[in-house]
Structure 1
Amino acid sequence: MTRALEWFLIFLMIVLTAVVVIAVLYRIAGDSLSWYDEVAAVLLSWVTYYGACLAALERKHIGVDSVLLMLPTKFRMIGVVVAEAFVIGFFVLMAWAGYQVVMILEGESLVSLTWISVQFTQSVIPVTAVLFIICELLSIPGYWRAVAAGQSLNDH
């Protein structure tokens, strides 16, 4: 799954870079692309959301390992369970709210590219919320072992 996310992010970054370079070349030539601002903003948000999922899968997101590691092992492990419950709970809520927003946006399209649905562009929210939950769940066993052993995954 890590490789698939990495390659998808690389693809998104290449597309975003190409869009920016093309827009700059158009501006240098004295013209501008009407769709540039909208598309670049969408691509940047997609890179951010999918990048967060990759960070979750690799446990490279912001964490409180140092606080957990100061606790006795029993309380440390309870802390892991509580923290994971909060994180997963938040993303369940985000997926639900994102889905609600996507449903409200039915029939809307981008201003500059009317053939692109706003539902498609904003689907990144519920899709990546679910993906973040999956990545978090897949990374729990390694995280559990590391915290139980008194090791921080952020030291690498």
Structure 2
Amino acid sequence: MLDALRRFFELVLEYFVILLMVVLTTIVIVAVVYRLLGSSLAWYDEVAAILLAWITYYGSALAALRRRHIGFDTVLLAIPMPARMVAVAVAEAVTAAFFILLAWAGWTVMMILGGMSLVSLTWMPVSVTQSVIPIGAILFLICQALSLPGYWVTTARGVSLEHAEIEEEVETEMKKAGNA
């Protein structure tokens, strides 16, 4: 059940982040073409900045689900057991506390800016664009929780997620070089 939920979140976040990237790329290309033609889009800068923020928040939730944020596996794995697992628990608790605070602050910002709209697109409420803060924080918490069991077991075994990925890439490249 947990694995199916994890795969669901991964699939939804992957496609949503890809969609956001395609939309941002399209908007940038259209804006460049307009400028080359001697005109410019008044809303481009504001919308592009918002899309970039959305990609960052939703992409960070996806990275949390895959445990691909910058970490210190080598340092963590150098800590002897059971202190290593205490360190993992403390790190997870601090991270969760930060994102709970971020979700609360984001919700507060949304409520304060509730009646405002974007400068260039007056029909778009700022609260919609700023909704990424609490939603992204909650998604990060969910993704962190969904990936924690696997991370806990891997860390307890003394296996580095970073080193395993590097070794896998090296092996892939070696196979490619052997076939060339």
So what's the TM-score if we normalise by structure 1? 0.98
Deviation at 1:152, TM superposition (A): 1.1
Match of 1:58 in 2: 66
1:32-47 to structure 2, matched below 5 A, reads 32-47=40-55
1:5-154 to structure 2, matched below 5 A, reads 5-154=13-162
2:141 and 2:101 mapped to 1: Cα distance?
11
1:34 and 1:53 mapped to 2: Cα distance?
31
1:153 and 1:137 mapped to 2: Cα distance?
17
Deviation at 1:64, TM superposition (A): 2.1
Structure 2: give runs of 5+ residues left out of the alignment. 1-8, 166-180
RMSD: 0.6
Q: Which amino acid aligns with 1:100?
A: T
Structure 1: give runs of 5+ residues left out of the alignment. none
Percent identical pairs in the alignment equals 59
Deviation at 1:154, TM superposition (A): 1.4
Tell me the matched-pair count: 156
**Consecutive aligned runs of 4 or more in structure 1 exceeding 2 Å deviation:** none
Q: Which amino acid aligns with 1:124?
A: V
1:85 and 1:135 mapped to 2: Cα distance?
14
So what's the TM-score if we normalise by structure 2? 0.85
Deviation at 1:134, TM superposition (A): 0.2
